[in-house]
Structure 1
Amino acid sequence: MNHLSASVLFDLDGTLIDTAPDFHAVINLLLKEEGLPEVSYEFLRQHVSNGARAMIAASFELAEGDERFTRLHKRMLEIYLSHLDKESKLFPGIADTLVWLNDNKIPWGVVTNKPELYTIPVLRGLGIIDQAQSIICPDHVENRKPHPEPLFLACKQLDKIPEHSVYVGDHVRDIEAGNRAGMVTIGASYGYLNDGEDPISWQADHYIECATELKPLLQSIYKDIAS
């Protein structure tokens, strides 16, 4: 693989950044407002990758058609805006990976289904927004993942070839999008898996069980510039 035509793209929640602690705090604040008991971190974590609606549905045991759902969803997002970078952090090993990518002049970016309103503050709060050379949110495309359009747009912005690039994600839709784009895909099984989910079923090219495994794997993929 020619590293000069390559890039590395990351999903956000559960792949690049551990945002579950903030979501857990927000959901429990909302449950408290509603006079309901808190949910455990372990319970909430398995719903994070499915988005805010899934977290509301699971935590309040509501269907989206319930008359209370829209109000609770709106209120959750209001609380999240003031809490979205208080406890979120890079997964262990990600900082080293980003340093390696930057040192080797391999551009990297973020492709997420998280709206720009929430994505940008999180990246800014962690001090990495200026390093990401492409940030693609649902606001920027007609089709969100698992459609490959966001990945194609990111590669276009980076002026890189999808077939020579890597996408790292912790959900089946990430791997489906990456595979459909013709990219090398890495399944992050340390992310926010649904209860009983088997990441092998995603059919990624590679898998990592901890983010500390990512840099060595990328060094192997881009072995001509491995340090």
Structure 2
Amino acid sequence: MSLPIRAVLFDLDGTLLDTAPDMAEAANKVLADYDHGPLTEEQIQANTSYGAKGLLTAGFGSIPSHLDAQQLRREFLGYYQQNICDGTSIYRGINPLLAYLDHQRIPWGIMTNKPGFLTELLLPFFPELQKAQVIVCGDTLTVAKPHPEPLLHASEMLGIAHTACAYIGDIEKDMIAANAARMHGYVAGWGYIGEDHTPSTWQAKGILPTPEALIDMLELQNNHQDSE
């Protein structure tokens, strides 16, 4: 049985940061190199959390058989690294949420599938995110989401039982990982959820419409405990 929430882990892209402008720009540069038009806004919204593979597959329709997917990914990463924070911003409501967690002494961290070198380049632009007590990236371990091990590793580093951790993310694989780790999985409803996505079927504990909704939920939990 899950314990009350004692720590919070966050996905990065589409949960803490709106990285779509810079990731889409990198993808569009790759597409232009191969005489393809740019991504639509709908494609960007639906695929940014799936990284290079998601954006390029959407842009090409499918990766052409005569092109090497790994080479395309390297080209994408090269463009993205050059302009990693030209248009990226922290989502409205995240700063108050993190301030609340700090004030309540609730440990929090980041568990992202973003490669470590890109995460290390990006986070210094957002000092508030560097306060995370743990940062686990897509290549920290030999497996990444939807495998639960990175989440279990993060909770162990925080010193909090995995069943007492919440994981906040904006795609189905985030909820698959959270459930496999027996964590409280909540959908970041403000993130990169496309029109064809159905978060109500992702077996999450709930869908948070805004970051502040997590504050409200934690306050209700605390009030319930105080009344017992």
CA contact (8 A) 2:138 2:144 kept: yes
Where does residue 118 of structure 1 map in the other structure? 118
CA contact (8 A) 1:188 1:208 kept: yes
Where does residue 59 of structure 1 map in the other structure? 59
Where does residue 200 of structure 1 map in the other structure? 200
Q: C-alpha displacement at 1:2, in angstroms? A: 6.0
Q: C-alpha displacement at 1:39, in angstroms? A: 2.4
Residue 83 of structure 2: SS of its match in structure 1? coil
Taking the TM superposition and a 5 Å limit, the aligned residue runs for 1:159-178 are 159-178=159-178
Where does residue 81 of structure 2 map in the other structure? 81
Residue 15 of structure 1: SS of its match in structure 2? coil
Question: Is the aligned partner of 1:209 residue 2:226?
Answer: no
Where does residue 9 of structure 1 map in the other structure? 9
CA contact (8 A) 1:188 1:210 kept: yes
In the alignment, the residues of structure 2 paired with residue 97 and residue 216 of structure 1 have an alpha-carbon distance, to the nearest angstrom, of 10
CA contact (8 A) 1:44 1:59 kept: no
- Percent of counterpart pairs with the same letter? 31
Where does residue 155 of structure 1 map in the other structure? 155
Compared with structure 1, are the counterparts of its residues 187 and 40 closer, same or farther at alpha carbon in structure 2 (3 Å cutoff)?
same
Quick one: which amino acid aligns to residue 221 of structure 2?
A: I
TM-score w.r.t. the length of structure 2 is: 0.89
Quick one: which amino acid aligns to residue 209 of structure 2?
A: E
Compared with structure 1, are the counterparts of its residues 71 and 138 closer, same or farther at alpha carbon in structure 2 (3 Å cutoff)?
closer
In the alignment, the residues of structure 2 paired with residue 29 and residue 63 of structure 1 have an alpha-carbon distance, to the nearest angstrom, of 15
Quick one: which amino acid aligns to residue 37 of structure 2?
A: P
Q: Which runs of 5+ in 2 are unaligned?
A: none
Q: C-alpha displacement at 1:25, in angstroms? A: 2.0
> What per-residue deviation string (whole Å, max 9, x for no partner) do you get for residues 169-212 of structure 1?
11111111111212112111221124311101011112112233
Compared with structure 1, are the counterparts of its residues 130 and 190 closer, same or farther at alpha carbon in structure 2 (3 Å cutoff)?
closer
Question: Is the aligned partner of 1:49 residue 2:49?
Answer: yes
> What per-residue deviation string (whole Å, max 9, x for no partner) do you get for residues 18-67 of structure 1?
11111122222333444443223332221111221121111123326432
In the alignment, the residues of structure 2 paired with residue 46 and residue 12 of structure 1 have an alpha-carbon distance, to the nearest angstrom, of 16
Residue 54 of structure 1: SS of its match in structure 2? helix
Comparing 122-131 with 83-92, which one deviates more in the overlay? 122-131
Compared with structure 1, are the counterparts of its residues 67 and 26 closer, same or farther at alpha carbon in structure 2 (3 Å cutoff)?
closer
Where does residue 180 of structure 1 map in the other structure? 180
CA contact (8 A) 2:165 2:183 kept: yes
Q: Which runs of 5+ in 1 are unaligned?
A: none
Taking the TM superposition and a 5 Å limit, the aligned residue runs for 1:84-163 are 84-163=84-163
Q: C-alpha displacement at 1:129, in angstroms? A: 4.0
In the alignment, the residues of structure 2 paired with residue 143 and residue 73 of structure 1 have an alpha-carbon distance, to the nearest angstrom, of 18
> What per-residue deviation string (whole Å, max 9, x for no partner) do you get for residues 132-162 of structure 1?
0100112221221111111111111111111
The number of equivalent residue pairs is: 223
CA contact (8 A) 1:186 1:204 kept: yes
Compared with structure 1, are the counterparts of its residues 22 and 221 closer, same or farther at alpha carbon in structure 2 (3 Å cutoff)?
farther
Comparing 105-114 with 175-184, which one deviates more in the overlay? 175-184
